[in-house]
Amino acid sequence: MGGGRSRGPAQRRLGGNVTIVVALCLVMLLGFVALAFDLAYVRLARFQLQNANDAAGHAAIVQLRQTGSLAQARAAAKSVALQNPVADKGHLTLSDSDVVFGGWDFARRAFSPGSTYENAVQVNGNRTSANAADGPIALFFGKVLGTDHADARESAVAALRPRNIIIAQDITGSFLAAIDTAAVADVAMLDMLHQFDLPTDRVGMQMFTGASAQFGPAALQYVHSDYGQIYQLWYGDGLLVDNAAKRSGITLCNKLDLTPPDPNPWYQHAWVPHCSAGGDGTDISSAIFAATSVLVSQGGPDAVNVIVVFTDGLPECCAPGGQSCDYVQSHSCPAARAKAGLDAADAAALDGISIFTVFYTGSLSDPSLVSAGIAYNRSLVRGIGKAYNTPDKKQLAAILSTIAGSIPISLVQ
C-alpha cells in the first residue's frame, strides 16, 4: 500500500483561500506599481512644465529689455514655450493671460501684477482640464484607480534686477584729443539706460587723475526720475574742452594748479578735479576703490553693481605739472599703482561688483604701451564685465551703449 494521502476538505479550502489572497495582493501590488509610475510621470511633467515656464519668462524679460514692448515680450514667451515639451505634448501652449507683467519687489521678494512699472513677468503655464489649451496630463494606468488624467500648474517670475553703474572717468591731460567724445559716450550710456525706462537703474561718476573725486551728488541717482539732472551734469553746456566759455560738463582736468600755470584759459575747468590731484599721473585704483565704497554702501544685495573704467592709458606717475610722466611698470611708482588697481578690482569682486573696462588707445603712439595698456585693462575685468579697446574715438559711444545693454536676468521664483 503506498502513495500520498489525499488532502481533506479543510486543506483544500485553505489552499483556495491562499490563492485568492495572493491574487488580491497581486492586484493591489500592480495597482501600487501603476500608481507609482503615474505619480513619477506627473512629477516629471511638472519639472518639464517649470522648465518651460522659466524659459518663457527669460525670453519675455530679454525681449522687454530690448524693445520695451509688452506685446513683443508676450509673443517671445509664447514662442519659446512652444519649443519646450511637457509630458505627452512636444510643446507648451501659453495663452495671453498666462503671461502677466508687473513689478518685482526685491526687498519683499514679491510680484505685483499690474504695477505702475513693469520690471518683471510671471508665466503661469498649466496643463489642466479646466483651461489649458493642451489639456491635462494623460495617465497610463490611472483608469485602474478611476481617473485617466492629472492637472499640473506651475509658475515662474523673471525680473530685471536693479542696476547700479558707476563710470570711473579718466580726465587726465593725455585724454585731451578725445575727452569731448568720451563725454558724449558717457551721455550715450545714460541715454541707453533712460531708453529702458526701468525705475530702479541708478548711476554715478568718479573722475580720476592721480586721485579720484566724485562728480555730482553723493548718492547714486535714479535714471528714471533724475535723467534731466544727470544729463545736465554730464553734458553740461556742450562746449568743447578748448572753448574758453565752457563752464560745465564732463571735461579735461582743471589746469589752474599746474606748475608752471597753463596759460590757456580754456583749460581752467574749476568744476572738475585738478590735474595734479593725488600727485599727478593716472591712478585707476583710486577710482575703483571709491566706486566700490559707494556701491557697497548704496548698491544693495539684489542689484547688479557695475564699475565702468573709462581710460586712455596705463597707471602712471608724473612730475609736478605733468611735464614728465613714467609708464614703465618696473619703476616703483607706476608699478605700485598698477598693483593697487588689481587689488582694488579684487576687492570689488569680493563685494559682488563687476568691472568693465573701456580703453581708448588713440592717445598712445608707442605700440608696446598700447599692448601693455590693453593687457592691463583686461586684467581689471571682474564678474560679468568685459574689456573693450579701440583706437577710434567714434566707437566709444557704441561701446558704452553696449555695456548699458548688458543687463543680467534673474529668475527669482
Strands 152-153 and 149-150, sheet pairing: unpaired
How does DSSP classify residue 192? H
Which pLDDT score, from 0 to 100, does residue 321 have?
56
Which pLDDT score, from 0 to 100, does residue 393 have?
97
Q: Are 151 and 292 in contact (CB under 8 A)?
A: no
Question: pTM to 2 decimals?
Answer: 0.79
* CA 377 – CA 59 distance, rounded (Å): 33
* CA 318 – CA 134 distance, rounded (Å): 71
Which pLDDT score, from 0 to 100, does residue 326 have?
81
Measured at the CA of 269, the angle between CA 264 and CA 274, to 5 degrees, comes to: 100
Three-class SS state of 256: helix
* CA 204 – CA 274 distance, rounded (Å): 20
Range 295-299, long-range pairs (CB < 8 A, 24+ positions): 295/164, 295/166, 295/348, 295/351, 295/353, 296/351, 296/353, 298/164, 298/202, 298/219, 298/220, 299/164, 299/220, 299/353
Per-residue confidence of the chain (413 residues) as pLDDT tens digits?
Answer: 555 555 555 555 555 566 665 556 665 655 555 667 767 888 898 999 999 999 999 999 989 888 888 999 999 999 999 999 998 888 999 999 999 999 988 888 899 998 877 889 999 999 988 767 888 888 877 666 677 788 889 999 999 888 999 999 999 989 999 999 999 999 999 999 998 888 889 999 999 999 999 999 999 999 999 999 999 999 999 999 999 999 999 999 998 877 777 788 888 899 999 988 887 789 999 999 999 999 999 987 788 999 999 999 899 988 765 557 887 777 888 999 999 999 999 999 999 999 999 999 999 999 999 999 999 999 999 999 999 999 999 999 999 999 998 877 777 77
* CA 148 – CA 407 distance, rounded (Å): 45
Q: Which fold has domain 163-411?
A: Rossmann fold (3.40.50)
User: Cα-flanking dihedrals φ and ψ of residue 311, to 5°?
Assistant: -140, 170
Angle between helical axes of 179-196 and 396-404 (0-180°, round to 10): 30
* CA 236 – CA 219 distance, rounded (Å): 19
Residue with cell 575727452: 179
Angle between helical axes of 367-379 and 332-350 (0-180°, round to 10): 30
Which pLDDT score, from 0 to 100, does residue 327 have?
77
- Give the ranges where 247-366 is alpha helix by DSSP (H): 284-298, 332-350
Provide the CA 276 distance to its chain's centre, in angstroms.
36
Q: Are 403 and 337 in contact (CB under 8 A)?
A: no
C-alpha cell at 396: 566709444
* CA 150 – CA 135 distance, rounded (Å): 10
Which pLDDT score, from 0 to 100, does residue 94 have?
95
* Domain definitions of the chain by residue range: 13-159, 163-411
